[in-house]
Amino acid sequence: MKTLLLCATIFFVLTGQRLTAQQTLLVPSATYATIQSALNAAANGDTVLVGPGTYVENLMWPPLLVHLIGAGPTQSIIDGNQTGSCISITADVSDGSSIEGFKITNGSGTLDVFGFGYVGGGMYIQRTVFLANPSPYLSITVKDCDITGNSAVHAGGFLVRFAEAIFERCTFSNNSTVVGGDGSCGLVGAQPGSNMVFKDCEFSQHSGKSVLEFPTGWNPSVTVEDCYFHDNTADVILAVFGGQMTFRRNRFTNNTTAGLIMSATQSTGSPFVIDSCLFADNATANRILRTAAGQNLTNTLVLSNNTIVRNTSTLPSIQLFGGNTLITDCIVKGNVDDSGSLFTNPFDLYFANSGNNLVTWQNSNIQGQANLGPGVIDVIAMFVAGQSGDFRLRPGSPMIDAGTLNPTFTQGAGDVRDWPRIRNGRVDMGAYEAQSLAHHPASAGTVGAAAGGPYDILKMNGTSGGIMRHLEVAIGTSSTLEMDQPPHLIGPLQFSIFGIIGEANFDSVINVPLGIGDMMFAPAPMIPFLHPSFFTLASSVGQLGFYAPLFSATPTPWNSGFGPAIPFPLKITIQGIIEEAPGVFAPTNALIFEVK
Protein backbone atom coordinates (compact mmCIF):
# COMPACT_ATOMS: atom_id res chain seq x y z
CA MET A 1 0.00 0.00 0.00
CA LYS A 2 2.80 2.43 0.88
CA THR A 3 4.55 1.65 -2.41
CA LEU A 4 1.34 2.34 -4.38
CA LEU A 5 0.83 5.69 -2.62
CA LEU A 6 4.42 6.75 -3.26
CA CYS A 7 4.16 5.86 -6.95
CA ALA A 8 0.91 7.79 -7.27
CA THR A 9 2.44 10.85 -5.61
CA ILE A 10 5.43 10.80 -7.95
CA PHE A 11 3.11 10.44 -10.97
CA PHE A 12 0.98 13.42 -9.98
CA VAL A 13 3.99 15.65 -9.30
CA LEU A 14 5.67 14.77 -12.60
CA THR A 15 2.54 15.19 -14.72
CA GLY A 16 1.08 18.18 -12.93
CA GLN A 17 -2.15 16.29 -12.17
CA ARG A 18 -4.12 17.33 -9.09
CA LEU A 19 -4.33 15.71 -5.70
CA THR A 20 -7.38 16.23 -3.57
CA ALA A 21 -5.41 17.93 -0.74
CA GLN A 22 -3.59 21.26 -0.96
CA GLN A 23 -0.80 20.85 -3.45
CA THR A 24 2.03 22.48 -5.39
CA LEU A 25 1.60 23.25 -9.07
CA LEU A 26 4.90 23.49 -10.98
CA VAL A 27 5.62 26.06 -13.70
CA PRO A 28 6.89 25.29 -16.24
CA SER A 29 5.76 21.67 -16.44
CA ALA A 30 4.04 19.41 -18.93
CA THR A 31 0.66 20.58 -17.65
CA TYR A 32 1.38 24.20 -16.74
CA ALA A 33 3.49 26.03 -19.29
CA THR A 34 2.42 29.46 -18.01
CA ILE A 35 1.83 30.98 -14.61
CA GLN A 36 -1.73 31.90 -15.58
CA SER A 37 -2.62 28.32 -16.47
CA ALA A 38 -1.47 27.19 -13.02
CA LEU A 39 -3.41 29.99 -11.27
CA ASN A 40 -6.53 29.01 -13.24
CA ALA A 41 -6.17 25.42 -12.09
CA ALA A 42 -5.35 26.19 -8.45
CA ALA A 43 -7.65 25.32 -5.59
CA ASN A 44 -7.94 27.20 -2.32
CA GLY A 45 -4.67 26.95 -0.36
CA ASP A 46 -2.54 25.70 -3.26
CA THR A 47 1.00 26.84 -4.08
CA VAL A 48 2.13 27.74 -7.58
CA LEU A 49 5.91 27.21 -7.70
CA VAL A 50 7.59 29.01 -10.59
CA GLY A 51 11.05 28.13 -11.86
CA PRO A 52 13.65 30.45 -13.41
CA GLY A 53 12.72 32.21 -16.63
CA THR A 54 10.99 35.26 -18.08
CA TYR A 55 7.20 34.91 -18.22
CA VAL A 56 5.59 37.44 -20.56
CA GLU A 57 2.16 37.50 -18.98
CA ASN A 58 -0.53 39.76 -17.53
CA LEU A 59 -1.74 37.68 -14.62
CA MET A 60 -5.33 37.65 -13.31
CA TRP A 61 -5.51 36.39 -9.72
CA PRO A 62 -8.23 33.85 -8.86
CA PRO A 63 -10.72 34.49 -5.99
CA LEU A 64 -8.77 32.09 -3.78
CA LEU A 65 -6.06 31.82 -1.18
CA VAL A 66 -3.03 30.98 -3.34
CA HIS A 67 0.74 31.21 -2.82
CA LEU A 68 2.71 32.27 -5.91
CA ILE A 69 6.41 31.62 -5.30
CA GLY A 70 9.26 32.29 -7.72
CA ALA A 71 12.93 31.35 -7.71
CA GLY A 72 14.00 34.87 -6.72
CA PRO A 73 13.79 38.28 -8.39
CA THR A 74 16.95 37.71 -10.46
CA GLN A 75 15.61 34.43 -11.87
CA SER A 76 11.81 34.48 -12.08
CA ILE A 77 10.63 37.51 -14.07
CA ILE A 78 7.04 38.52 -14.82
CA ASP A 79 7.17 40.83 -17.86
CA GLY A 80 3.97 42.76 -18.61
CA ASN A 81 5.14 43.57 -22.16
CA GLN A 82 3.53 47.03 -21.86
CA THR A 83 0.12 45.43 -22.49
CA GLY A 84 -1.37 45.82 -19.00
CA SER A 85 -0.57 45.32 -15.34
CA CYS A 86 1.83 42.47 -14.63
CA ILE A 87 -0.50 41.23 -11.88
CA SER A 88 -4.17 42.19 -11.39
CA ILE A 89 -6.01 41.24 -8.20
CA THR A 90 -9.64 42.30 -8.19
CA ALA A 91 -11.49 39.50 -6.41
CA ASP A 92 -11.60 39.03 -2.64
CA VAL A 93 -8.45 37.25 -1.54
CA SER A 94 -8.40 35.83 1.97
CA ASP A 95 -5.61 36.66 4.40
CA GLY A 96 -2.63 34.45 3.71
CA SER A 97 -2.39 34.77 -0.07
CA SER A 98 1.13 35.72 -1.09
CA ILE A 99 3.46 36.58 -3.94
CA GLU A 100 7.14 35.90 -3.30
CA GLY A 101 10.43 35.91 -5.20
CA PHE A 102 9.74 37.69 -8.52
CA LYS A 103 10.91 40.58 -10.60
CA ILE A 104 7.76 42.41 -11.73
CA THR A 105 8.55 44.68 -14.66
CA ASN A 106 7.41 46.33 -17.89
CA GLY A 107 3.77 46.62 -16.85
CA SER A 108 1.62 49.45 -18.20
CA GLY A 109 -1.46 49.42 -15.96
CA THR A 110 -5.17 48.60 -15.99
CA LEU A 111 -7.90 50.95 -17.25
CA ASP A 112 -9.34 52.53 -14.13
CA VAL A 113 -13.07 52.14 -13.44
CA PHE A 114 -13.11 55.68 -11.99
CA GLY A 115 -11.81 57.33 -15.15
CA PHE A 116 -8.19 58.02 -14.16
CA GLY A 117 -6.73 56.22 -17.18
CA TYR A 118 -4.35 53.32 -16.83
CA VAL A 119 -3.21 52.75 -13.23
CA GLY A 120 -1.15 50.20 -11.34
CA GLY A 121 1.60 49.48 -13.87
CA GLY A 122 3.26 46.61 -12.02
CA MET A 123 0.45 45.53 -9.71
CA TYR A 124 -3.24 46.46 -9.76
CA ILE A 125 -4.85 45.51 -6.43
CA GLN A 126 -8.43 46.75 -6.21
CA ARG A 127 -11.77 45.31 -5.25
CA THR A 128 -13.98 45.54 -8.31
CA VAL A 129 -17.03 46.51 -6.25
CA PHE A 130 -16.59 48.69 -3.17
CA LEU A 131 -18.18 47.31 0.00
CA ALA A 132 -18.52 49.50 3.07
CA ASN A 133 -17.88 46.69 5.56
CA PRO A 134 -16.19 43.86 3.67
CA SER A 135 -15.31 40.57 5.31
CA PRO A 136 -12.72 39.49 4.48
CA TYR A 137 -10.75 42.27 2.84
CA LEU A 138 -9.12 41.87 -0.49
CA SER A 139 -5.73 41.22 1.12
CA ILE A 140 -2.35 40.13 -0.24
CA THR A 141 1.24 39.82 1.03
CA VAL A 142 4.15 40.52 -1.34
CA LYS A 143 7.64 39.42 -0.24
CA ASP A 144 11.14 39.54 -1.69
CA CYS A 145 10.07 41.04 -5.00
CA ASP A 146 11.74 43.58 -7.27
CA ILE A 147 9.08 45.89 -8.71
CA THR A 148 10.92 47.94 -11.30
CA GLY A 149 10.55 49.59 -14.69
CA ASN A 150 6.75 49.78 -14.71
CA SER A 151 4.67 52.75 -15.89
CA ALA A 152 1.10 54.06 -15.87
CA VAL A 153 -0.89 57.29 -15.84
CA HIS A 154 -1.03 57.02 -12.04
CA ALA A 155 0.59 54.49 -9.66
CA GLY A 156 3.42 53.36 -11.89
CA GLY A 157 4.66 50.57 -9.62
CA PHE A 158 1.43 49.49 -7.90
CA LEU A 159 -2.08 50.55 -6.96
CA VAL A 160 -3.83 49.41 -3.78
CA ARG A 161 -7.42 50.67 -3.51
CA PHE A 162 -10.41 49.32 -1.52
CA ALA A 163 -7.99 46.63 -0.39
CA GLU A 164 -4.94 46.05 1.78
CA ALA A 165 -1.43 44.77 1.11
CA ILE A 166 1.73 43.98 3.03
CA PHE A 167 5.04 44.52 1.22
CA GLU A 168 8.08 42.95 2.90
CA ARG A 169 11.71 43.05 1.72
CA CYS A 170 10.70 44.46 -1.66
CA THR A 171 12.74 46.72 -3.91
CA PHE A 172 11.00 49.45 -5.91
CA SER A 173 12.97 51.33 -8.57
CA ASN A 174 12.55 53.21 -11.84
CA ASN A 175 8.77 53.09 -11.91
CA SER A 176 7.10 56.07 -13.55
CA THR A 177 3.88 57.94 -14.35
CA VAL A 178 2.92 60.39 -17.06
CA VAL A 179 3.60 64.06 -16.35
CA GLY A 180 1.45 65.07 -13.37
CA GLY A 181 0.56 61.49 -12.45
CA ASP A 182 0.37 60.59 -8.77
CA GLY A 183 2.56 57.96 -7.17
CA SER A 184 5.34 57.07 -9.61
CA CYS A 185 6.08 54.12 -7.34
CA GLY A 186 2.72 53.55 -5.70
CA LEU A 187 -0.69 54.94 -4.85
CA VAL A 188 -2.54 53.72 -1.76
CA GLY A 189 -6.24 54.46 -1.39
CA ALA A 190 -6.81 51.61 0.99
CA GLN A 191 -10.05 50.31 2.45
CA PRO A 192 -11.23 52.15 5.59
CA GLY A 193 -9.93 50.21 8.58
CA SER A 194 -7.49 48.17 6.51
CA ASN A 195 -3.80 47.74 7.25
CA MET A 196 -1.12 48.75 4.78
CA VAL A 197 2.43 47.77 5.70
CA PHE A 198 5.78 48.47 4.04
CA LYS A 199 8.55 46.61 5.90
CA ASP A 200 12.26 46.40 4.98
CA CYS A 201 11.65 47.86 1.53
CA GLU A 202 13.88 50.02 -0.66
CA PHE A 203 12.68 52.87 -2.93
CA SER A 204 15.02 54.50 -5.46
CA GLN A 205 15.26 56.18 -8.86
CA HIS A 206 11.72 57.57 -8.99
CA SER A 207 10.87 60.91 -10.55
CA GLY A 208 7.57 62.70 -11.26
CA LYS A 209 5.04 64.15 -8.82
CA SER A 210 5.41 61.75 -5.87
CA VAL A 211 7.00 58.41 -4.99
CA LEU A 212 4.32 57.12 -2.58
CA GLU A 213 0.97 58.86 -2.24
CA PHE A 214 -1.79 58.24 0.28
CA PRO A 215 -4.89 60.13 -0.92
CA THR A 216 -7.48 61.81 1.24
CA GLY A 217 -10.98 60.43 1.74
CA TRP A 218 -10.01 57.10 3.31
CA ASN A 219 -8.84 56.07 6.73
CA PRO A 220 -6.43 53.13 6.48
CA SER A 221 -3.79 52.29 9.02
CA VAL A 222 -0.44 52.67 7.22
CA THR A 223 2.89 51.58 8.67
CA VAL A 224 6.24 52.20 6.98
CA GLU A 225 9.10 50.58 8.89
CA ASP A 226 12.78 49.85 8.25
CA CYS A 227 12.61 51.24 4.71
CA TYR A 228 15.28 53.07 2.71
CA PHE A 229 14.45 55.96 0.36
CA HIS A 230 17.40 57.16 -1.69
CA ASP A 231 18.36 58.75 -5.01
CA ASN A 232 14.80 59.77 -5.90
CA THR A 233 14.04 62.99 -7.78
CA ALA A 234 10.25 63.13 -7.49
CA ASP A 235 8.69 66.35 -6.22
CA VAL A 236 7.67 64.62 -2.97
CA ILE A 237 8.85 61.28 -1.58
CA LEU A 238 5.83 60.67 0.67
CA ALA A 239 2.57 62.57 0.09
CA VAL A 240 0.33 61.78 3.05
CA PHE A 241 -3.24 63.09 2.86
CA GLY A 242 -5.18 60.67 5.02
CA GLY A 243 -5.17 57.72 7.36
CA GLN A 244 -3.43 56.71 10.57
CA MET A 245 0.21 57.01 9.64
CA THR A 246 3.23 55.55 11.46
CA PHE A 247 6.81 55.84 10.18
CA ARG A 248 9.57 54.10 12.13
CA ARG A 249 13.25 53.37 11.53
CA ASN A 250 13.34 54.67 7.95
CA ARG A 251 16.26 56.29 6.16
CA PHE A 252 16.07 59.13 3.63
CA THR A 253 19.41 59.95 1.96
CA ASN A 254 20.63 61.55 -1.28
CA ASN A 255 17.18 62.47 -2.57
CA THR A 256 16.77 65.60 -4.71
CA THR A 257 13.17 66.73 -4.39
CA ALA A 258 10.83 69.58 -3.54
CA GLY A 259 10.27 67.91 -0.15
CA LEU A 260 10.68 64.54 1.51
CA ILE A 261 7.40 64.26 3.41
CA MET A 262 4.30 66.38 2.87
CA SER A 263 1.51 65.61 5.30
CA ALA A 264 -1.99 67.01 5.29
CA THR A 265 -3.52 64.25 7.32
CA GLN A 266 -6.94 65.09 8.73
CA SER A 267 -6.88 62.37 11.38
CA THR A 268 -8.05 63.36 14.85
CA GLY A 269 -7.24 59.96 16.36
CA SER A 270 -3.75 58.55 16.69
CA PRO A 271 -0.92 60.94 15.83
CA PHE A 272 1.21 60.87 12.71
CA VAL A 273 4.35 59.40 14.31
CA ILE A 274 7.78 59.78 12.69
CA ASP A 275 10.13 57.87 14.96
CA SER A 276 13.82 56.89 14.82
CA CYS A 277 14.30 58.00 11.21
CA LEU A 278 17.39 59.40 9.51
CA PHE A 279 17.13 62.34 7.08
CA ALA A 280 20.60 63.15 5.74
CA ASP A 281 22.26 64.61 2.63
CA ASN A 282 19.02 65.40 0.85
CA ALA A 283 18.51 68.49 -1.31
CA THR A 284 15.02 69.98 -1.42
CA ALA A 285 13.63 72.94 -3.28
CA ASN A 286 11.14 73.53 -0.46
CA ARG A 287 11.34 71.85 2.96
CA ILE A 288 12.50 68.50 4.29
CA LEU A 289 9.23 67.96 6.15
CA ARG A 290 5.95 69.86 5.81
CA THR A 291 2.79 69.19 7.79
CA ALA A 292 -0.44 70.98 7.00
CA ALA A 293 -3.67 70.64 8.94
CA GLY A 294 -6.66 72.62 10.14
CA GLN A 295 -6.22 75.01 13.03
CA ASN A 296 -8.07 72.96 15.63
CA LEU A 297 -6.89 69.40 15.07
CA THR A 298 -5.30 67.45 17.89
CA ASN A 299 -2.55 64.82 17.91
CA THR A 300 -1.28 65.92 14.52
CA LEU A 301 2.41 65.03 14.62
CA VAL A 302 5.01 63.39 16.85
CA LEU A 303 8.67 63.68 15.84
CA SER A 304 10.68 61.45 18.15
CA ASN A 305 14.29 60.24 18.04
CA ASN A 306 14.98 61.46 14.52
CA THR A 307 18.31 62.62 13.12
CA ILE A 308 17.80 65.42 10.59
CA VAL A 309 21.25 66.54 9.47
CA ARG A 310 23.25 68.01 6.59
CA ASN A 311 20.30 68.61 4.30
CA THR A 312 19.98 71.52 1.90
CA SER A 313 16.62 73.25 1.51
CA THR A 314 15.50 76.56 0.08
CA LEU A 315 13.26 77.23 3.09
CA PRO A 316 13.70 76.22 6.73
CA SER A 317 13.90 72.46 7.07
CA ILE A 318 10.60 71.78 8.87
CA GLN A 319 7.26 73.52 8.48
CA LEU A 320 4.58 72.88 11.09
CA PHE A 321 1.24 74.11 9.83
CA GLY A 322 -1.51 73.71 12.41
CA GLY A 323 -2.30 71.01 14.91
CA ASN A 324 -0.48 69.86 18.04
CA THR A 325 3.13 68.82 17.52
CA LEU A 326 5.62 67.16 19.87
CA ILE A 327 9.31 67.24 18.96
CA THR A 328 11.32 65.11 21.36
CA ASP A 329 14.73 63.41 21.48
CA CYS A 330 15.66 64.67 18.00
CA ILE A 331 18.90 65.95 16.48
CA VAL A 332 18.37 68.77 13.97
CA LYS A 333 21.84 70.02 13.05
CA GLY A 334 23.88 71.22 10.10
CA ASN A 335 21.02 71.90 7.70
CA VAL A 336 21.75 74.71 5.26
CA ASP A 337 20.04 76.94 2.72
CA ASP A 338 20.91 77.22 -0.96
CA SER A 339 23.89 79.46 -0.20
CA GLY A 340 25.30 76.97 2.29
CA SER A 341 24.42 79.05 5.35
CA LEU A 342 23.20 77.22 8.45
CA PHE A 343 19.57 77.64 9.42
CA THR A 344 19.73 79.22 12.85
CA ASN A 345 16.02 78.36 13.18
CA PRO A 346 15.14 75.23 11.21
CA PHE A 347 11.38 75.58 11.84
CA ASP A 348 8.58 77.48 10.12
CA LEU A 349 5.58 77.70 12.43
CA TYR A 350 2.01 78.51 11.38
CA PHE A 351 -0.88 78.75 13.87
CA ALA A 352 1.61 77.62 16.52
CA ASN A 353 0.85 78.14 20.20
CA SER A 354 -2.63 79.43 19.52
CA GLY A 355 -5.76 77.65 20.69
CA ASN A 356 -5.33 73.92 20.21
CA ASN A 357 -2.27 74.34 17.98
CA LEU A 358 0.69 73.84 20.28
CA VAL A 359 4.29 72.95 19.46
CA THR A 360 6.25 71.35 22.27
CA TRP A 361 10.03 70.77 22.16
CA GLN A 362 11.95 68.69 24.66
CA ASN A 363 15.28 66.91 25.10
CA SER A 364 16.63 67.64 21.62
CA ASN A 365 19.77 69.08 20.02
CA ILE A 366 18.54 71.78 17.66
CA GLN A 367 20.70 74.15 15.63
CA GLY A 368 20.52 77.68 17.03
CA GLN A 369 17.65 76.89 19.39
CA ALA A 370 19.12 76.12 22.81
CA ASN A 371 16.61 76.51 25.65
CA LEU A 372 13.64 76.28 23.26
CA GLY A 373 12.12 73.83 25.74
CA PRO A 374 13.15 71.60 28.64
CA GLY A 375 16.28 69.69 27.78
CA VAL A 376 16.75 71.42 24.41
CA ILE A 377 20.41 72.17 23.66
CA ASP A 378 22.60 73.32 20.77
CA VAL A 379 25.95 71.52 20.93
CA ILE A 380 28.23 69.48 18.69
CA ALA A 381 26.62 66.07 18.27
CA MET A 382 29.87 64.06 18.01
CA PHE A 383 28.92 61.65 15.23
CA VAL A 384 31.24 58.75 14.43
CA ALA A 385 31.94 60.03 10.90
CA GLY A 386 29.25 62.42 9.78
CA GLN A 387 31.16 63.53 6.68
CA SER A 388 31.05 59.97 5.33
CA GLY A 389 27.45 59.37 6.40
CA ASP A 390 27.97 57.54 9.71
CA PHE A 391 25.64 59.33 12.14
CA ARG A 392 26.02 56.94 15.04
CA LEU A 393 27.03 58.65 18.27
CA ARG A 394 30.64 58.49 19.39
CA PRO A 395 31.50 57.54 22.97
CA GLY A 396 31.33 60.71 25.01
CA SER A 397 28.68 62.37 22.86
CA PRO A 398 26.38 64.65 24.90
CA MET A 399 23.45 63.03 23.05
CA ILE A 400 23.95 59.71 24.85
CA ASP A 401 21.48 59.10 27.70
CA ALA A 402 20.14 62.63 27.23
CA GLY A 403 16.66 61.86 25.88
CA THR A 404 13.30 61.79 27.60
CA LEU A 405 13.22 60.08 30.99
CA ASN A 406 9.99 58.20 30.23
CA PRO A 407 9.78 57.80 26.44
CA THR A 408 6.66 55.67 26.24
CA PHE A 409 6.54 56.13 22.46
CA THR A 410 9.97 54.46 22.02
CA GLN A 411 10.00 52.07 24.96
CA GLY A 412 10.50 48.58 23.60
CA ALA A 413 11.04 49.76 20.03
CA GLY A 414 14.35 49.74 18.16
CA ASP A 415 16.57 52.45 16.78
CA VAL A 416 17.01 53.05 13.05
CA ARG A 417 18.93 49.75 12.81
CA ASP A 418 16.19 48.04 14.86
CA TRP A 419 18.65 47.52 17.70
CA PRO A 420 17.09 47.76 21.17
CA ARG A 421 16.36 51.24 22.48
CA ILE A 422 17.22 52.52 25.95
CA ARG A 423 20.57 51.52 27.38
CA ASN A 424 21.60 52.64 30.86
CA GLY A 425 17.98 53.53 31.67
CA ARG A 426 17.53 56.51 29.35
CA VAL A 427 17.04 56.83 25.62
CA ASP A 428 19.62 58.67 23.48
CA MET A 429 18.80 61.60 21.23
CA GLY A 430 18.59 60.90 17.52
CA ALA A 431 17.99 57.86 15.36
CA TYR A 432 20.86 55.74 16.71
CA GLU A 433 21.07 54.31 20.21
CA ALA A 434 24.64 54.07 21.55
CA GLN A 435 25.01 50.34 22.02
CA SER A 436 27.95 49.20 19.94
CA LEU A 437 30.98 47.47 21.37
CA ALA A 438 32.78 50.80 21.84
CA HIS A 439 30.03 52.13 24.12
CA HIS A 440 30.32 49.32 26.67
CA PRO A 441 33.01 49.53 29.39
CA ALA A 442 33.83 45.86 28.86
CA SER A 443 35.36 46.74 25.47
CA ALA A 444 38.23 48.55 27.22
CA GLY A 445 39.24 45.54 29.32
CA THR A 446 41.00 45.93 32.66
CA VAL A 447 44.67 45.45 31.79
CA GLY A 448 46.58 47.96 33.94
CA ALA A 449 43.41 49.50 35.38
CA ALA A 450 45.18 50.07 38.71
CA ALA A 451 48.32 51.47 37.10
CA GLY A 452 47.05 54.25 34.82
CA GLY A 453 45.21 52.01 32.34
CA PRO A 454 43.35 50.21 31.05
CA TYR A 455 45.79 49.87 28.16
CA ASP A 456 45.00 48.86 24.58
CA ILE A 457 47.39 46.00 23.96
CA LEU A 458 45.40 43.88 21.48
CA LYS A 459 45.73 45.21 17.94
CA MET A 460 45.13 44.37 14.29
CA ASN A 461 47.50 45.93 11.76
CA GLY A 462 48.97 48.04 14.55
CA THR A 463 45.74 49.66 15.66
CA SER A 464 43.14 49.04 18.34
CA GLY A 465 40.46 50.49 16.07
CA GLY A 466 40.22 54.09 17.21
CA ILE A 467 37.34 55.49 19.18
CA MET A 468 34.87 52.95 17.74
CA ARG A 469 37.27 49.99 18.16
CA HIS A 470 36.58 49.04 14.56
CA LEU A 471 39.02 48.27 11.76
CA GLU A 472 38.07 47.73 8.11
CA VAL A 473 40.25 46.17 5.41
CA ALA A 474 39.53 45.35 1.79
CA ILE A 475 38.72 41.82 0.63
CA GLY A 476 41.95 40.02 -0.20
CA THR A 477 44.07 42.10 2.18
CA SER A 478 46.55 40.31 4.44
CA SER A 479 46.52 41.46 8.08
CA THR A 480 48.45 40.93 11.30
CA LEU A 481 47.28 40.28 14.84
CA GLU A 482 49.35 41.60 17.74
CA MET A 483 49.53 41.36 21.52
CA ASP A 484 51.70 44.17 22.93
CA GLN A 485 53.61 44.06 26.18
CA PRO A 486 51.58 45.92 28.87
CA PRO A 487 53.63 48.99 29.84
CA HIS A 488 53.21 48.41 33.58
CA LEU A 489 54.52 44.82 33.55
CA ILE A 490 57.76 43.04 32.78
CA GLY A 491 57.31 40.22 30.26
CA PRO A 492 57.01 37.72 28.92
CA LEU A 493 53.35 37.12 29.80
CA GLN A 494 50.99 34.27 28.94
CA PHE A 495 47.86 35.15 26.96
CA SER A 496 45.02 33.82 24.84
CA ILE A 497 43.01 35.63 22.14
CA PHE A 498 39.44 34.63 21.31
CA GLY A 499 37.03 35.59 18.57
CA ILE A 500 33.41 35.33 17.45
CA ILE A 501 31.94 35.70 14.01
CA GLY A 502 29.86 38.88 13.98
CA GLU A 503 29.73 42.07 16.02
CA ALA A 504 29.56 41.98 19.80
CA ASN A 505 27.37 44.59 21.49
CA PHE A 506 25.57 45.27 24.76
CA ASP A 507 23.61 42.03 24.57
CA SER A 508 26.65 39.80 24.22
CA VAL A 509 28.55 40.90 27.36
CA ILE A 510 29.20 38.11 29.86
CA ASN A 511 30.76 37.97 33.30
CA VAL A 512 33.59 35.43 33.04
CA PRO A 513 34.36 33.43 36.20
CA LEU A 514 37.75 32.89 37.87
CA GLY A 515 37.98 36.59 38.68
CA ILE A 516 38.36 37.65 35.02
CA GLY A 517 35.24 39.84 34.99
CA ASP A 518 33.21 41.29 32.09
CA MET A 519 34.13 40.47 28.51
CA MET A 520 32.29 41.40 25.33
CA PHE A 521 31.56 37.73 24.61
CA ALA A 522 32.23 34.35 26.13
CA PRO A 523 35.74 32.93 25.49
CA ALA A 524 35.65 29.92 23.17
CA PRO A 525 36.41 27.25 25.82
CA MET A 526 33.20 28.27 27.62
CA ILE A 527 31.11 27.57 24.50
CA PRO A 528 32.15 24.09 23.37
CA PHE A 529 29.10 23.48 21.17
CA LEU A 530 29.05 26.67 19.05
CA HIS A 531 32.30 26.27 17.17
CA PRO A 532 33.13 27.82 14.68
CA SER A 533 31.06 30.91 15.68
CA PHE A 534 33.31 31.08 18.76
CA PHE A 535 37.00 30.28 18.24
CA THR A 536 40.51 30.69 19.62
CA LEU A 537 42.77 32.85 17.46
CA ALA A 538 46.00 32.39 19.40
CA SER A 539 47.16 31.08 22.75
CA SER A 540 50.60 30.97 24.32
CA VAL A 541 49.44 28.11 26.55
CA GLY A 542 48.48 25.84 23.65
CA GLN A 543 45.10 24.28 22.96
CA LEU A 544 42.27 25.18 25.33
CA GLY A 545 39.59 22.53 25.58
CA PHE A 546 38.12 21.66 22.17
CA TYR A 547 39.69 24.67 20.46
CA ALA A 548 42.99 24.46 18.62
CA PRO A 549 44.29 28.02 18.10
CA LEU A 550 44.47 29.29 14.53
CA PHE A 551 47.89 30.87 15.14
CA SER A 552 50.83 29.57 17.13
CA ALA A 553 51.95 32.04 19.80
CA THR A 554 54.74 32.83 22.19
CA PRO A 555 54.38 35.03 25.28
CA THR A 556 54.12 38.78 24.75
CA PRO A 557 55.14 40.77 22.89
CA TRP A 558 53.73 38.71 20.03
CA ASN A 559 52.90 39.24 16.37
CA SER A 560 51.15 36.73 14.14
CA GLY A 561 53.04 37.80 11.05
CA PHE A 562 51.01 38.32 7.91
CA GLY A 563 47.97 36.09 8.06
CA PRO A 564 46.18 34.69 5.03
CA ALA A 565 44.19 37.15 2.93
CA ILE A 566 40.43 36.71 3.42
CA PRO A 567 38.66 36.52 0.03
CA PHE A 568 35.09 37.22 1.22
CA PRO A 569 33.23 39.71 3.46
CA LEU A 570 33.64 38.90 7.13
CA LYS A 571 33.16 40.60 10.47
CA ILE A 572 34.66 39.21 13.67
CA THR A 573 35.05 40.52 17.20
CA ILE A 574 38.23 39.68 19.08
CA GLN A 575 39.22 40.02 22.74
CA GLY A 576 41.81 38.29 24.88
CA ILE A 577 42.98 37.60 28.40
CA ILE A 578 46.52 38.14 29.67
CA GLU A 579 48.31 37.08 32.85
CA GLU A 580 48.89 40.18 35.00
CA ALA A 581 50.14 38.16 37.99
CA PRO A 582 50.81 34.44 38.51
CA GLY A 583 47.46 32.74 37.87
CA VAL A 584 45.60 36.07 37.59
CA PHE A 585 44.21 36.93 34.17
CA ALA A 586 42.61 40.20 33.01
CA PRO A 587 40.60 40.83 29.82
CA THR A 588 42.26 42.93 27.13
CA ASN A 589 40.59 45.54 24.99
CA ALA A 590 38.16 44.28 22.32
CA LEU A 591 38.21 45.08 18.61
CA ILE A 592 35.85 44.55 15.66
CA PHE A 593 37.73 43.48 12.52
CA GLU A 594 35.80 43.73 9.25
CA VAL A 595 36.71 42.58 5.76
CA LYS A 596 34.55 44.32 3.16
In a domain, 538, yes or no: yes
Q: Average pLDDT of 357-373?
A: 87
pLDDT value at position 301? 79
| Spatial distance between the Cα atoms of 58 and 75, rounded to a whole number of angstroms | 18
Q: Are residues 229 and 257 in contact, defined by beta-carbon separation less than 8 angstroms? A: no
In a domain, 583, yes or no: yes
Which SS3 state, helix, strand or coil, does residue 38 take?
A: helix
In this prediction, residue 475 has a pLDDT band, given cuts at 50, 70 and 90, of: very high
| Spatial distance between the Cα atoms of 246 and 221, rounded to a whole number of angstroms | 8
Reported as a single tens digit per residue, the pLDDT across 300-312 is 778 899 999 999 9
- pTM, two decimals, is 0.86
In a domain, 525, yes or no: yes
Reported as a single tens digit per residue, the pLDDT across 26-60 is 999 999 999 999 999 999 999 999 999 999 999 99
In a domain, 530, yes or no: yes
Q: Average pLDDT of 92-115?
A: 89
- 407/271: higher pLDDT: 271
In a domain, 485, yes or no: yes
| Mean pLDDT score of the chain | 86
Query: Cα separations (Å) of 243 from 202, 277, 294?
Result: 22, 20, 15
Does position 15 have pLDDT exceeding 90, yes or no?
no
In a domain, 132, yes or no: no
Number of CB atoms found within 10 A of residue 334's CB: 18
Choose among 569, 570, 571, 550: nearest CA to 561. Answer: 550
Number of CB atoms found within 10 A of residue 519's CB: 25
Q: What are phi and psi of 274, to 5 degrees?
A: -115, 105
In a domain, 464, yes or no: yes
Q: Residue 443: give the domain boundaries.
A: 438-595
Domain count, the chain: 1
Instruction: Say which DSSP state 44 is in.
Output: T
Using only C-alpha atoms, the chain has a radius of gyration, in whole angstroms, of: 28
In a domain, 527, yes or no: yes
DSSP string spanning 160-204? EESSEEEEES-EEES-EESTT-S-SSEEEEPPTT-EEEEES-EEE
Q: Are residues 564 and 595 in contact, defined by beta-carbon separation less than 8 angstroms? A: no
